[in-house]
Chains A and B, each alone.
Chain A
Amino acid sequence: MLSHMHKHAEYLDPILSRYQYNAHHLLQILREAQEYYGYIHADAIDYMAQQLQLARSQIEGVASFYSLLYLQPQGEYRVLFSDNITDRMLGNMQLMESMCKELWVEAGKVSEDGLVSINTTSCTGMCDQGPAILVNNIVINQLTKERVSAICELIREHIPLSDWPPEFFAIEDHICKKDILLDSNFKAGSALAKSLRHSALETLQEIKTSKLRGRGGAGFSTASKWEFCRSATGEQHYVVCNADEGEPGTFKDRVLLTSYADMVFEGMTICAHVIGAKKGFLYLRGEYRYLLDHLQAVLHHRRQQSQLGNNILGHAGFNFDIEIHLGAGAYICGEESALIESLEGKRGTPRNRPPFPVTSGYLNQPTVVNNVETFACASLIGLHGGAWYANIGTDTSAGTKILSVSGDCVRPGLYEYPFGVTVAQVLADCGAQNTQAVQISGPSGICVAANEFDRRIGFDDLPTAGAFMVFDYSRDMFEVARNFVHFFKHESCGFCTPCRVGTSLLANMMDKLAQGHGSPYDFAEIEKLNVLLLSTSHCGLGHSACNPVLDTIAKFRPAYDKQLIHKEFIPAFDLDYDLSQARQMTGRDDAGAHLERTNVSK
């Protein structure tokens, strides 16, 4: 068509043809297309629109949804600082500031020479070895002042990322406590071979007997999910492994995929046998891009061993294979119906339910979506049987749970326990001292205070997707909650009114408190917002967005009281604060640029 699209055709054609010009692969196409310019060029959008028969606005709509995709030129080096509270506690903000200074660039902007852009991003799942950054979407951990300087030097010298010191990219497993899963010495193919000696229904029965419940947070019975899907009619059935792992403080799926990938893929294959699926997807969060080659190699090996492909392990007619889809920076895509939308190449907006994915999932076909750990557990059950598994843990929470421990402790990392372990036990094992609070299951979970450390991990006391963030008495729990609230604001998909606007209102209120302009009135407002978000939000993100604030107000009230300059009235406005923008623009922050701190509204 137009000549300006021509130069884009050259690199886009191979990508498009690899994805068969199928718009359902739009997200994968965009991600790969971006690798050429570091952003998605406007003319490239026109070309893709033409080739995929989409409107360019649809492509723009998808690309602009994901925070790791860009429609504007970025720096040749895109540096993103992981901004979970655990990164903050390890000093990420100071490190970002010094990098900005060294490279003469303002956070959130591109340097004038186009060399570098620096910004923050949501938790990258490296909390046990932070502070972490992504450089052109590849992770670098354990940032120190020295490492930051070295990186600045490499950037200034235009050294390609592939030539940076390999130790920068080292990522540790940090497995600190093993139980049945992490200590299983799993032999690839063993669980599958055993399962295939039984009928699909018998295998399903084993899963039922095991009392396995989903490890992604909600704890739905895995056998019921597989059974619903199996009995749902459709042209195809699909197995999806949820490796979006976006909940701040959670990183166990990363380790499972690093060192236990066979167990995960094998669990998916067993599921495929049960529900009659030919195709599976691993939805891998974009931040774990560095795992892609390794995972492809594991899949390749499994195909060679006839653990994937046609007539698996000689089982005539049992055909199944797995494709990896990468996300591109959107926590909401961990929600199963948003994940499916994203798999279909769309904006990650949660669907209206019912219908649920088990009857109408990927391409509106019956689909099982399970967490990475759930599939790994299914392999164990395939190998050792349901009764063996059901005997471990507690009555309502069978088996073990892998916790991702981070924050104020001597040994952050992975800890596997039979369900029913107390918070105190975990704290003792990881070497935590003077612990003030533990955030269980991330911002959308529960914050427990010292007087609750005898509570137990399990579905009927402290359910968790895995995060276990430890805060000692030196930490300000108000700032912890404020960080979480900003996370929700950033990650709200924007579909429904209560969450889209409510998370911003909440973040503004917390910022207002942080600036000392809050009053007890704001607490009542937060309570009201919580009720509204709980009763009217479209999905779990909105439902839990107020949790961190409500929990910390209830349990750490002094942390809030110290923010209250005004104990009774609501300041209508603060002139000095309103001048802050002018101060920023003029680069002034001296006394003359401030109004005297008086109560304007009094």
Chain B
Amino acid sequence: MFQNKDTYTFLLDGKTIPFTEEQTIIQAAMAAGEYIPHLCFNPEFKPHGSCKICTVSANGRQTASCTQQPQAGMVVESNTPQINGERLALLQMLFVEGNHFCPSCEKSGDCQLQATAYEMNMMSSHFDHFFPDRPVDASHPEYLLDFNRCILCSLCVRASSDVDGKDVFSLAGRGIKTRLIVNAESGRLADTNFSGDDKAAHVCPVGVIIKKRVGFAVPIGQRSFDEHPISFTPHPALKDN
């Protein structure tokens, strides 16, 4: 089944993908230059497994490819109408759960949610919108938090805790009331020790954590995902933000 002691392979949509013992399916696929749609996964962080966009079928069983370890000879299907259909529905869920007005969003064109939705040919949000009430936090001199766009991927939580050692962000609440909070009694970012140099300032896949006063520096039309679809773009976290 495998060539040598350290390199095993599995099949991703018919292509042979080598993997090492530490890699999960998506990590091996990415290393081989293959795209599996994802949002809460970021190659720089430990897989989390919450958004479920990276769901694949592995030997016939559906599972999140960011947390699933491959086995030698495993048959993994990702780019199929059925699985893409499910991804589409999950994306639509994320769109109706928050308030996403892409045309006026600073992150438009650089947003992984938007770009993944394009990739999955999303034409409408299908479900009824929840229109949650999520006030914006503009307290910090340099950064804005627009919670309307939060998809609860917890990347900022992980970055702040694991990389910055600060725990500026946490998830609070439960179920549909789950929300992002910051480490201050006032609930304001300005009252935390958050800084623009933090890793957490640069990991949000959508437009929640936004640097002030540089708005629209790159014109819409020339942004990451305007030039190439997300499937042909290196992960934003691998570039310098």
Contact = CB atoms under 8 A, between A and B. Distances in A.
A489 B51 contact: no
A32 to B, nearest CB: 21
A50 interface: no
B69 to A, nearest CB: 8
A61 interface: yes
Interface residues of A, number: 42
A494 B97 contact: no
Contacts, number: 118
Contact of B177 (A55, A58, A494): A494
B195 interface: no
A502 B93 contact: yes
A189 B216 CA distance: 74
A42 B184 CA distance: 10
Contacts of B104: none
A311 interface: no
A330 B175 CA distance: 11
Interface stretch (B163-171, B198-206, B232-240): B163-171
Given A504-B130, A538-B49, A65 B181 contact: no
A528 interface: yes
A490 B172 contact: no
A503 B176 contact: yes
Contacts of B93: 497-498, 501-502, 505
A61 B171 contact: yes
Given A55-B183, A61-B171, A500 B176 contact: yes
A494 B178 CA distance: 6
A344 interface: no
B173 interface: yes
Given A58-B167, A61-B181, A498-B52, A489 B90 contact: no
Contacts of A66: 174
Given A57-B167, A535-B86, A501 B173 contact: no
Given A491-B175, A494-B177, A494-B178, A56 B185 contact: yes
Contacts of B178: 494-495, 500
Contacts of B155: none
A58 B168 CA distance: 9
A492 interface: yes
A496 B51 CA distance: 6
Contact of A494 (B62, B67, B128, B152): B152
Interface in A322-341: 330
Interface of A: 42, 45-46, 54-58, 60-61, 64-67, 330, 347, 352, 354, 489-498, 500-505, 508, 528, 531-532, 535-538
22 contacts: A54-B167, A55-B167, A55-B170, A57-B183, A58-B170, A60-B181, A65-B172, A66-B174, A347-B171, A347-B174, A352-B47, A492-B176, A494-B173, A494-B174, A495-B50, A498-B52, A498-B93, A502-B93, A505-B128, A535-B55, A536-B86, A537-B52
Given A497-B90, A498-B93, 11 more contacts: A46-B185, A58-B170, A65-B174, A494-B177, A496-B50, A497-B94, A497-B151, A501-B93, A503-B175, A536-B52, A538-B49
